[in-house]
Structure 1
Amino acid sequence: MNRLRVTPGPVLALTAAWLATRALMCGLLTHDSSPRLGGGAVPREVWRLYSHWYGVLSHGAFPAHDSTWQYPPGAGPVLLAPGLLPWLTYFQAFVVLTLAADALIAVALVRAGTRPGRSLLGAAVWTCGLPLLLHLPLARYDVEVTALAVLSLLALGRSPRVCGALGALGALVKVWPALVLLGTPRGTGTRTAWRWAAAAGGACGALLAVSFRNPLAFLSQQGGRGVQIESLGGTALDLARHAGWPGRPRYQYGAIEMVGPHVHAVATASLALTAVAFGLLVLWRLRARHWTPATPYDAALAGVLLFTVTSRVISPQYMIWLIGLAAVCLTSRHTSQRPVAVLVLVASALSSVVFPAFYRDVVAGTWTGCLLLVARNAVLAATAVLSLVLLWRSARPPTQGPAPTDEPRPDSDRLPDRVLSIS
């Protein structure tokens, strides 16, 4: 088989960039006492909250009466994993495992990008884009979840079974990775991926239900959540404070949420918008007539973007998901999401300004905090709309010529010809 020779220079440059940026992120994590770095608030979730959950989980139960526990049962093994490194503190072990997951994503993107006809731009976006969130990614388990989603998407071309299984495991940990199966091309590949997702999800879910008590405790806590101040609805309410709205922010359910008149209506509107977003994605799936090797990646990014911006909660760590999915898109030269990836990076940088740099202003409702929230969420909303529009346009049948492929015909990673143009 003839394959393109990949010069080691770009890979070595990415390796050096990864090492340098991760060293910087670790440095910020250990010296974050500055108010602009959160005053110690960023790592607090690990050494106080995650560590507490570890103690409960290690006794074979999920935190049933803890309002901050809002995660599916698959999160349990992830939060127990630092126990595999008993010579380290929980916090140290958690950061080490998060860095390992981060490195795994980078390696997978480099490997995908060095295949014939592919691009290393995706690996560059992950390597250089994640540090835009400062040290936050090292103190949340969203990197591990993103790793499952990224590996699932990259496995699709070779093994729909692995793709489906990894997507299901990701969904068990934090729900949203189920969306990576949204854009699988119609036909045998989709049926195989979805069957394996159902089987793997069912088997692992049953195992967790047998191994731990209260596996569904998260449902009641998740259902009780209100409108987080960083969401689109929270931003509107934050602005309304300047117009005389009597509500205020309050710490509850593990986040700063808005409480007061009309909050329930705003939460209901957010859920309605999420339902509309789901309907649009289903409609796209039904009407799409053209797939390229990049379509599954593009659909995953568009889906997660829509669900993010319509959520009652837009925590800054959500940007980790979007950076990872944007990076996967950019491994393909035929992605429709290049401008979307740029906007995701812009929104990520703005998120770091919102939290931790100016979070006190955000909570206090100052004009500085309000305008920063408006800027970040306006970029995110525009990004989601643009992503869907580009995805929809890319699904139209080509007017002439064969559909593009990422790899030469002999390469086994290329999607089958019959799924590239479907009439």
Structure 2
Amino acid sequence: MTPSQMPPPPARVRIPAPAAAPDPGAFGRRARYAALVASWLATRVVMLHLLVTDRLGVGGVSGEVYVLYRRWYDQLSTGVFPFGDPAWQYPPGAGAALLAPSLFPFLTFFQAFTAVTVGCDALITRALARAGARPGGSTAGAWLWVGGLPLLLHVPYARYDVQVTALAVGALLALRRRPGLGGVLAGLGATVKVWPLLTLVGAPPGRGTRRALLGALASACALLAVLVLAFDHTLDFARQQGSRGLQIESLGGTAFQLAHLATGRPGRVVHRYGAIEFTGPYVSAVAALSLALTVLAFCWLVFWRVRARRWTVAVPLDAALCAVLLFTVTSRVISPQYLVWLLGLAAVCLTSGRTTQRPVAHLLLPAAALSALAFPCLYDEVIAGTALGTAVMAARNALLLAAALLSCRRLWASTVTTSATTVTGTTKPGRRDARPSDA
């Protein structure tokens, strides 16, 4: 048979690939994300409404934006940092944060400042949701932030602490996979308000930590150099820090309030350095004690760092919350906006299923609500030292102190103590989990 007479080969039959099975959890994830977005929108509308209707802005919570921040913005716009101003006590990076509203020249300063703050709030929510969607993650962190921030009413939107918290949250979330970027964000945050540098306290030993520290140093020095060259009186803020006294919202202030309430003598308070502070006998001694306790808190963190042997993915997050809690409760201030920092860090902790700080995060929610009750709702009572105002402040500060002590104990137990079961319930006796891949 010639080749031309041979029958053609049989045609190949293509069997279609089976259709991919639908992901049964995809719809649930989309529904949960939609609920998160809806909750964020609803709560933020309420916060904005409270902000714009707050005594027409002047004299209320938002008066800080209308008057103080606007005055600083106008001065910074001329290339000069506030100097000789006792209320200006912030590192130079705060000037960059206050100049951010200039990105929206078609808005008033108040509108632009609010837009920047709300945008940073949205970025934090998005970052927490993405972190919680990773394997081993949890959306509890995003929900804590969405539901916890409104407990402070409109105070977060009338301060620039949300912007600082965005840098700290970004630093912690980037630290695991991109330690250099995490360090850069922490360094930038430290130039605005020093506390974001504490996000690096729990970075696991190794090359990643060195890269994070170098990134923080480089970014902080670069921004400071730009600000020093571009502005006058950049470092004038340092002159005001040493003059700060004991604010009535601090733990020391609560001790004075309780003492005055017990003796029936009203406490002597004055408005200075942009805050309400105690004056009179023993105030300087209590303020010095607060500084000494801050030093002791730093020493404890160094001691913990030396003794820690087990690093999981959650340890850097937990250590950051613990460190900021310690520096908060030993502070001479403890303004309501400090709770913005703590809620942000607690939310980052809850993005990890291995965190030990879940009970601590739960304590911060009533503490935030009591902070808003003290300011702005009952601030006149707090200033006057009445039984109601003192009780609210004492309860808030007791919760913060309990949260700090509990945070220390759980962090130590999960990283240092060798026991049959750690607080996470997953570590075996004597196990040292410091694998780089787990850090």
TM over 0.5: yes
Where do 1:207-356 residues align within 5 Å? 207-242=226-261, 243=263, 247-356=267-376
Q: Does 1:360 align with 2:380?
A: yes
TM-superposed CA distance for 1:32, in Å, is 2.5
Q: Does 1:86 align with 2:105?
A: yes
The 3 A distance-change label for structure 1 pair 4 and 379 is: farther
Mapped partners of 1:123, 1:246: distance in 2: 43
Q: Which residue number corresponds to residue 177 of structure 1? A: 196
1:56-87 CA distances to partner (integer Å, 9 max, x unpaired)? Answer: 11111111110000000000111011111111
* Structure 2 residue matching 1:260: 3-state secondary structure: coil
TM-superposed CA distance for 1:236, in Å, is 1.1
Q: Which residue number corresponds to residue 14 of structure 1? A: 36
Mapped partners of 2:435, 2:300: distance in 1: 27
Mapped partners of 1:50, 1:354: distance in 2: 23
- Cα contact 1:347–1:379 (8 A) shared by 2: yes
Q: Which residue number corresponds to residue 119 of structure 1? A: 138
- Cα contact 2:268–2:280 (8 A) shared by 1: yes
Q: Which residue number corresponds to residue 369 of structure 1? A: 389
Partner amino acid, structure 1, of 2:72: W
**Alignment root-mean-square deviation, CA:** 2.3
Aligned residues: 407
1:145-200 CA distances to partner (integer Å, 9 max, x unpaired)? Answer: 00000000000121000000000000000000000000000011111111111111
Where do 1:124-139 residues align within 5 Å? 124-139=143-158
Where do 1:197-208 residues align within 5 Å? 197-208=216-227
The 3 A distance-change label for structure 1 pair 211 and 416 is: farther
The 3 A distance-change label for structure 1 pair 327 and 91 is: same
Q: Which residue number corresponds to residue 416 of structure 2? A: 396
Q: Does 1:417 align with 2:420?
A: no
Partner amino acid, structure 2, of 1:158: R
TM-superposed CA distance for 1:117, in Å, is 1.6
Structure number with larger C-alpha Rg = 2
Which sections of structure 1, spanning at least 5 residues, go unmatched? 407-414
* Structure 1 residue matching 2:62: 3-state secondary structure: helix
So what's the TM-score if we normalise by structure 1? Answer: 0.92
* Structure 1 residue matching 2:278: 3-state secondary structure: strand
Mapped partners of 2:297, 2:191: distance in 1: 22
Q: Structure 2 residue aligned with 1:168, among 187, 190, 194?
A: 187
Mapped partners of 1:20, 1:245: distance in 2: 45
Partner amino acid, structure 2, of 1:135: H
Q: Which residue number corresponds to residue 53 of structure 2? A: 31
1:247-294 CA distances to partner (integer Å, 9 max, x unpaired)? Answer: 511100000001111110010000001011111111000100001100
* Structure 2 residue matching 1:275: 3-state secondary structure: helix
Mapped partners of 1:22, 1:71: distance in 2: 27
Q: Which residue number corresponds to residue 61 of structure 1? A: 80
Which sections of structure 2, spanning at least 5 residues, go unmatched? 1-22, 427-432
Mapped partners of 1:161, 1:245: distance in 2: 54
Q: Greater shift after overlay, 60-69 or 237-246?
A: 237-246
* Structure 2 residue matching 1:41: 3-state secondary structure: coil
Q: Does 1:140 align with 2:169?
A: no
* Structure 1 residue matching 2:80: 3-state secondary structure: coil
So what's the TM-score if we normalise by structure 2? Answer: 0.89
Mapped partners of 1:247, 1:23: distance in 2: 39
Partner amino acid, structure 1, of 2:365: L
1:313-358 CA distances to partner (integer Å, 9 max, x unpaired)? Answer: 0100000000000000000000000000000111001101111111
Mapped partners of 1:378, 1:22: distance in 2: 29
TM-superposed CA distance for 1:397, in Å, is 6.6
Mapped partners of 1:42, 1:192: distance in 2: 40
Mapped partners of 1:324, 1:247: distance in 2: 34
1:195-231 CA distances to partner (integer Å, 9 max, x unpaired)? Answer: 1111111111111111111111111111110000000
Q: Does 1:190 align with 2:212?
A: no
Q: Does 1:75 align with 2:97?
A: no
Partner amino acid, structure 1, of 2:329: V
Mapped partners of 2:68, 2:388: distance in 1: 30
- Cα contact 2:360–2:403 (8 A) shared by 1: yes
Partner amino acid, structure 2, of 1:282: V
